[in-house]
Amino acid sequence: MNPTLPDDAALQALAQQIAARLIARRQRMATAESCTGGLIAKVLTDLAGSSAWFERGIVSYSNEAKAELLGVPETTIARHGAVSGPTVIAMADGLRARAPVQWTVSVSGIAGPTGEVPGKPVGTVFIGWSGVGSASASSRFQFEGDRDAVRRCTVDAALAGLIDLLDAARQADSGR
């Protein structure tokens, strides 16, 4: 394995940090995944006791699934594409509106080796986060490597971003 890729132990360490933060806040989360095909949910639920803080994972690989299961407006996909900031925000917000959770993370991207479109080469990934009391946000990433590398890097970035949001929410709560 490429030494710059997050290995299983690194991903599990992120999952443990999320678990500790959610348990401390008595909150739950869910995932809406496209290019990772459920890998984020798998990493999270590899932890024993994850049912205390992980509620569900939706794999919405097709545009139809994004619309039907998550409420992503078809106009959003038509205007911006499935691999876009507006789409992952709609995925994250749609899941949070449908699930009894406080936090969601969503991903859509081009894991490769094919599928690139103009302006979005293989390795382009958008990650969205939605949380109670915080503005929904997305980030664009450009990962290198094969399909596995893109997917692992996506999981790493999605989980690290969620940790940052949970920490920011905790700081905001303590400032009140």
The structure tokens 């986060």 sit at 129
The one-letter amino acid at 158: A
Architecture category of domain 9-174 in CATH: Alpha-Beta Complex (3.90)
pLDDT tens profile 38-65: 999 999 999 999 999 999 999 999 999 9
Whether the full predicted model's pTM is greater than 0.75, yes or no, is yes
Domain boundaries, the chain: 9-174
Q: Report the largest interatomic distance among the alpha carbons of the chain, rounded to a whole angstrom.
A: 49
The whole-number pLDDT of residue 22 equals 98
The whole-number pLDDT of residue 3 equals 55
pLDDT tens profile 132-158: 988 999 999 999 999 999 999 999 999
**Distance from C-alpha of 140 to C-alpha of 127, rounded to nearest angstrom:** 7
For residue 25, pLDDT over 80 is answered with: yes
Average the pLDDT over 86-108 and give the result. Answer: 98
